[in-house]
Every structure is written in structure tokens, then in C-alpha cells.
Structure 1
């Protein structure tokens, strides 16, 4: 069920359990192009689907800001308001403001000197969006860096909150340095000037979304192959019993949403998209669009499954009729809110009841064979694989547990941990020096 991110075909069996994989399998992906990756960038699709996705602001990033994100170390701009926030949350160790002498040096080396306009604009956007936002870059949000935030989440209230998350995230680093990895448009030598120019040509954006409290059990990832919705699953990998009674309804409304909004309007025929269905579960919000590539987590599926699922039948006249009206209105898509979705189209058939009621005539039996039902996977209570889902997400990108525990311990914990860490390093350096003298 879990993603086979490294393409391993299988594991060797041994008396003690699973051991290292023995063969490497190349998954049968269609060629992944740079254009496909750019089409999935937030700035490429947001304006097209602005009416059906949560409110966001896009801020083009100049080269000096990109250089700041790529630079080693975490040095935050000196801002009086932000500095007060960091002092209150005991995070000054990351901005080098522990004492007055370091503060003076910091003011001389303001990392935002070349992009102060960006810094001020971010402040204004945060205020405009209610004082709390969630950041992301073109493709990735810094979900793997929430351990470093005082709130242990992606909620940001100041520009420095944003910078701290972005500079601590491996996901963001991937956007900056490896956005086109695996693409087959050009043969690019790693570290070559061609690669550097290609990476620099990407129009990077900082996306600031209004912070809203989402119920993670109502987020779903959907997979599209050849413009057909072939599979969907929950994003939060924990068991939620209530989802099973709503499974058919969610499948139907997501299918309607896809037919109406995405099938013929997104430029690529293969992609994955994330949706959120808030109570009372009569509308669908588009959260993100992801590449049809191995970098996208297939969650409850494996990529080999998604690539080899039975081919859906061609689009029939009834399905084409369903999307003819929305296609006529697609030029005005941003002004047609998703709340009118259920009034614009007829309710989708309930596939299970349709099967049970349609066994009387041969004509209906023929129609039955033409219906393709996307596979909808949920985490079951007795699912053996589900026991592994309780482990923290993105654990491979986190610091040791001591650091995480210190960040959650309230005021004084981080400073105490930093002091202890310095003492350990000093003692280790002293021992190394003594060993060198004895030799």
C-alpha cells in the first residue's frame, strides 16, 4: 500500500523477515517533461481554478531572495516586530539575537537588504489574509520543517516565521535545486552551466494562503490517467470509521468535480490532484495539483498499481454530455463558485445501487459493463499496513528526537537545549585537542 519511492521491485525473503531489495525495476512512466512539471506549479494553474481553491496570494521572487533561500545557515532579517515575536517564542538562537553584540553584527548583515520590498509586501499580505497564513513554494509546502516552528505547524504570523520554515525544509530545497530531476526533455549533466541556467529560468513564487483549520480526514488524493479518474484515497493515513458510510457520496462528488472542472481544462492528461470536502460535504475545494511522476506520493497505492490498472473505456456520449455545459462556461470559471456545483449538474448515479437495480434487462447489463468505477481506498481498522501509519510523517527529514522534544517544551527549552549542545561540542573539541597533543 505504501509508496515504493525508490522503484524497488521486491524484497528477498529471509527467516528473520524482509531484507534488502534484490532487483531494481524501472516503472513504466510515460516521459516526464519539464513542461508537465511547470504545469503543476501553483502559479501555472491557480488563476484558472481560482474560484474553486482556497484564497491565496502569489508573490514573484527575485534572484536575491532565491539566493537567500539557497544559502547555508538560518539568518533572519532584523525586524523589531518580528524580533519581539521570536523573543517571546524563545527562538532567538536561530536569528543570532542572543546578546547585544550579536544584534549589532546582525544589523550590519541584513539578509533582506536586497529584497526589503518583498519583506514589506509579505507583511501586508499577512495582515490582509487575517494575520495567519500558510506558505509554500511553486510545488511544495514546508511540511517537513514544522518541528522548528513554535506552533509545531505551518501557521505563520510574521515574515520571519515564513523564512524559518522555508530555509529548514528539504521539500523546498527540492523545488529550488531538483525541480526537473527525471525529466527527459534534455540531456543535462549534473552541475553543468546548462543545468544552472535551466534551474534559474524557473519563475519562482512564494504562495501565501489564508490559514484555515482543515479536518485532515476530509482530504483526498486523486489520480488521473489519460483524462480519466482512475483512483482516489484519503491523504491522512489513519483510520476514520465515519468515512466508510460516506465513501460512495465522496466518490460521486469528486467524480462530478473532476468532470466539471478539471478533465478538459488541465493541459496534461496525466496528473494527481488533492481535494478537500468540508461539511456538509456538498462542495469540493481544489487544494493542489501534483505531477504524474515518482516524486508524488501515491499514499495507499503503489505507482506500479496506478500505472498498470485496467485501462478505463473511452469516454461515452453520456459522459461527454455531462461536461459540455461546463466547457461552454470555462472562460468564466473564476467567477463560478464551487458552491453552485451541485445545482449545475445532476447528481451522479450511485454505482452500487445501480448495479443491484439493473440486472433485469440485457440492455442494462450492457450498460453496466461500460461503467468504470474509480478505486477508492480508505484505511481500514484491521488493515495490517495501517499500524505503520501512526509514525510521524516526513521522519526522514526531521532532526533527532531530542531537538523535537526541546522545541515542544515551552519557553526556555530551546535555549536550554542549545546551551547543552554547545557544552557537548566544546567538550568534544577539547577531547579531540587533547588526543592530538598526546599523539
Structure 2
């Protein structure tokens, strides 16, 4: 019987032990759901409800942009190129090239244009859950900085992340109470006022059972100045979580992203993500996060150890916090505190009270994990991000050359396809003659 129990305990996991991920949890992490509650601690942003015709436009193949009064017109479709083609093609039949897609959703188009002006002329777009970070290659600035409605449409329609929001928002979720219906998603376009973010102080925080479990650096590069600041950064993020998120977010498990700008004493909430495998754990693994001891487990272990020591007659001496290295506290401050304790003990003998025992107890703190100096990928500043979502270099170069480059690329692509089709036709005719 014991052998059977040992075998069952040693059995490897066949899947990550996630709690059920419900559709409601996904909706709770949508920007439109949580932003009104935390608006005061988020960067300035505006939400624009999206109509069904606009969503159909985003889902449609090809990239056809409405005319822009502030820039030359850029109309593209992939009807004949496989990727792009110019609407100015004189050989194209009909007047599709002259169509303005925004005629189907004028309210959305006007709201986007007005919001860009309201936010200073430069914005960063996203939908309910995702930003089109994988499509910055198509933007003239190669960043999320959008200055016209056309910039926004181009990025949204070129992004796999946006496609996931539109088509697979509830993938890998479980039905609640046997209800297999897919809830209607109130899609919104989020336009955040553009500002330069220092990626070195962006962090992802993991919450389990309403306790801050772990924190990880988001940028995959090593920054020397972060290590001495671990204690300060952890403290300010813990306080931010306790004051704003711990008790009033609908779910006990979730992931949130923050930005801690210099002077490193204020935290901005950037995003909230599902406690699900779709969320990137970055420097952790999901197996770590799902199985590591949290505050409850730590406190239970400490209580058990204390009870065992009391039974055996041992006296517990406090030397240092269990994870003092991770705490990042100034060792000089610890030494000073210890000296002060010694001085006070030498002056008077005070009976040990329950409050003294509580003060001597070890305190659990969340781990803040940074990219280490000796990490082989710690200096990948020039490495391309989201490479799996990118197109060939020729396409990227064409997008960086502006609309003229894209038009030239489209024409060349058409010529290549025409030559290949002609070659295939000649090959087929020669086979028939043979």
C-alpha cells in the first residue's frame, strides 16, 4: 500500500495545475472592465466603443485605409498580391480603390480622430486585452506611436495579437455551470496618450489568492542599476497592490503589469492579465508560480516549526530574514538594527511577551526576479521582438520607407507573381503537348 502511495506521489504532472479559467475571468481582465475602477492609477487613456461594421473591417482581409486629410492617401488590398496592392492600379476593374471604408463606421472614425487631437496628437492603441506590439514594423516610426487614424488601422489589421482578441478571446476557458454560450464582448479601442516608457522599470506581478506572490522584470535585458533597488522597488509595488488591487479586483488570481518611473516612488498600472497559460510568465515558469509556497504555506510551515521547537524545548533565535538576499535590504541598516537591539537588551531585561515573539517571526516577502548579469541573453538590446509575427525583411524595409516604399513593394510583388503564373502556364502547356 505504501508503495502505491509513493508511486502516486511521484507521478509526473501531465498538465499545469491551473484552476479553471472561466470566461468571466477573461472579461474581468478586459481593459474596459477594470479601467473605470483604477483610472486614477493608470496613464491617461480614452476608450472608444467599437461598432459591428468596424469589427468586420478589422476582420476583413487586406488593408484598405480611409483617406487622410493630413497625409497622402494610402489604400491597399491583398486581392492580387497576396499581401498588398495599390488601389491606384489602373488595370483594376471597378471603383473599389476609391471606396472609403470609414463610410460604414463614421462615428468610430471621427471619435478616433478627435481623441488623437485631445491626447496631444500621439497615441498608443490597443483592444480589450492586447496591443499590436507585433505590428510596429509596419509603422513609420517602428514604435507604437500613432499620429493618424490610418496609422492605427494599419497596426490593428497587421497584428496577430489583435486577431487573437477578435477571434480567440475565450480559447481554453471552461464553461461555468454547464453554460456553453459565448458571451458578447463589448469591444473597445483604447487610445493611451503616448509617452516614452523606460523598459528597464516595467514589471509583471503575479497574484495568487489575493496575495502578491512574485514579481518579474519585463524587459529581457540586464540593467546593473536595478539590483541595489530591489528592496525599494518591491516595497513600492507591494504597497501599490495592497492599496489598490488586493481587495477590489473581482478574481483572487490575476497578473498585472506596472511601470515604476523615476524617482521610483510611484507606480502606474499598465495592464491586467488573466491567471492563465496564455499570459507570459517571463522569468518564471507557470509550474513555479502554481506550485511555489505563498504566504499561507510559509506561515503554516513557520507555525509548525515553532510548535515542534516548543515541544522539544528549543529556543528560536532570529538571525536574519529567510530570504534576506532577495529582500535587497541594506546590510548596514540590518547591522544597525541588530546593534540597537543589543544595546536595549544590555540596558534592561524585559520579560518575553507575545508581541516580542510576533516581532521575531520571519516575514514572507514576494520574490522579485531580475535578469542576471551572467545570463547569456542578458544583453539582447538589438534582438528583434515578436519575430514569429513578422514578415520578411523586404516587407519591413518597405514599410520603413513610407507609403512610397510600400507601393513600390506591392508593384514588384505583383510582377513576381505574374512571372510565376506565366511560368506555370508555360510549364503546363508544354506538359500537355508532350
1:154-192 CA-to-partner distances (Å, cap 9, x unmatched) read: 11111111111111111011011111111111599xxxx
CA 411–311 in structure 1, closer or farther in 2 if over 3 Å, else same: closer
Give unmatched runs, 5+ long, in structure 2: 1-11, 76-82, 300-326, 346-351
Q: Which residue of 1 aligns with 2:411?
A: 419
Shift in Å at residue 38 of structure 1?
Answer: 0.5
Q: CA deviation at 1:97?
A: 4.0
Q: How far off its partner does 1:411 sit?
A: 6.9
Question: For the residues of structure 2 that align with 1:437 and 1:283, how far apart are their CA atoms?
Answer: 72
CA gap 1:168/1:368 in 2 versus in 1, 3 angstroms: farther
In structure 2, what is the Cα distance between the partners aligned to 1:242 and 1:280? 13
Distance 1:427 1:101 in 2: 17
Cα deviation, 1:333-370, whole Å, max 9, x if unaligned, reads xxxxxxxxxxxxxxxx9756586646969876764544
TM superposition shift of 1:373: 1.3
Q: Does structure 2 retain, via aligned residues, the 8 Å contact 1:355–1:368?
A: no
The equivalent of 2:399 in structure 1 is: 407
Aligned position for 1:337: none
SS at match of 2:186: coil
Contact conserved, 1:76 with 1:94, CA < 8 A, in 2? no
Matched, 1:113 2:106: no
Query: Is 1:126 aligned with 2:116?
Result: yes
Shift in Å, 1:81: 1.0
Q: Which moved more, 1:403-412 or 1:375-384?
A: 403-412
Aligned to 1:335: none
Q: How does 1:267-416 map to 2 (within 5 A)?
A: 267-313=250-296, 357=337, 367=359, 369-386=361-378, 391-409=383-401, 412-416=404-408
User: Deviations 1:60-81 (Å, cap 9, x if unpaired)?
Assistant: 111111111111111112x241
Task: Determine if contact 1:227/1:264 at 8 Å carries over to the other structure.
Answer: yes
Distance 1:228 1:47 in 2: 23
> Does the 8 Å contact 1:96/1:106 carry over to 2?
no
Q: Which residue of 2 aligns with 1:42?
A: 31
Looking at structure 1, the residues matched to 427 and 46 of structure 2 have their Cα atoms a distance apart, in angstroms, of 56
Please provide the CA RMSD for this pair.
3.0
Corresponding position of 2:311: none
Whole-Å separation in 2 of the counterparts to 1:184 and 1:265? 24
Deviations 1:350-405 (A, max 9, x none): 75658664696987676454411111111122113536785322111111222223
- For the residue of structure 2 that corresponds to 1:198, the secondary structure is coil
Aligned-pair CA distance for 1:150: 1.1
CA 1:374–1:390 in structure 2 vs 1: closer, same or farther (change >3 Å)? farther
| Selected match of 1:431 from 405, 423, 433 | 423
Q: Deviations over 1:294-349 (max 9, x none)?
A: 11111111111111111213899xxxxxxxxxxxxxxxxxxxxxxxxxxxxxxxx9
Across the two proteins, how many residue pairs are aligned to each other?
372
Question: Retained in 2: the 8 A contact 1:351–1:373?
Answer: no
Question: Which one of the candidate residues 65, 69, 85 is aligned to 1:81?
Answer: 69
Are the equivalent residues in 2 in contact too, given 1:155–1:211 (CA < 8 A)?
yes
1:120 CA displacement:
0.8
Which of the residues 125, 128, 138 maps onto 1:138?
128
Encode CA deviations 1:172-220: one digit per residue, 9 max, x unaligned.
11011111111111599xxxxx98x726x11111111111111111111
Pick the aligned partner of 1:170 from 156, 160, 163: 160
CA contact (8 A) 1:75 1:95 kept: no
SS in structure 2 at match of 1:313: helix
C-alpha distance in structure 2 between counterparts of 1:245 and 1:291, whole Å: 31
1:238 positional shift: 0.8
TM-score normalized with structure 1 length: 0.77
After alignment, is 96-105 or 419-428 more displaced?
96-105
Select the structure of larger CA radius of gyration: 2
Structure 1 residue 241 and structure 2 residue 230: aligned? no
In the alignment, what sits opposite 1:15?
A: none
8 Å CA contact 1:96–1:102 kept in 2: the answer is no
